[in-house]
Amino acid sequence: MAVSLRVPDDVKKRVDRLAGAQDTTAHAFMLEAIRDKVDAEEARAAFIAEAQRRLARMKKSGKGIPAAEVFAYLDARAKGGNPARPKARKAP
């Protein structure tokens, strides 16, 4: 697929400067930038899809973990601890 992009002069200058600093061509630099953006958007879409699946599963089961317990668990892990994982349960 052939694509033609009109790149504003100020962006061209920035791309040329950065590509030169990386000892690559402006074309290669822009292709890498496009690949990086596509990869990031695909990862974001996969993350959102997984979150939606998990939310649907949680709503169906009626089970969850109170946020305070999740935060306490993550805080303890961040401090190097090995706390027990909180258990999902139905709300009272």
Between 2 and 34, residue with greater pLDDT: 34
Phi, psi at 22, each rounded to 5°: -100, 5
For residue 6, the Cα-to-chain-centroid distance in whole angstroms is: 28
* Ramachandran area for residue 87 (φ above 0: left; ψ -120 to 50: alpha; else beta): beta
Global pTM reads 0.73
Q: What's the rounded Cα separation, in Å, for the pair 53 and 70?
A: 19
Could you tell me the pLDDT band of residue 40, with boundaries at 50, 70 and 90? very high
Q: What is the mean pLDDT of residues 40-65?
A: 97
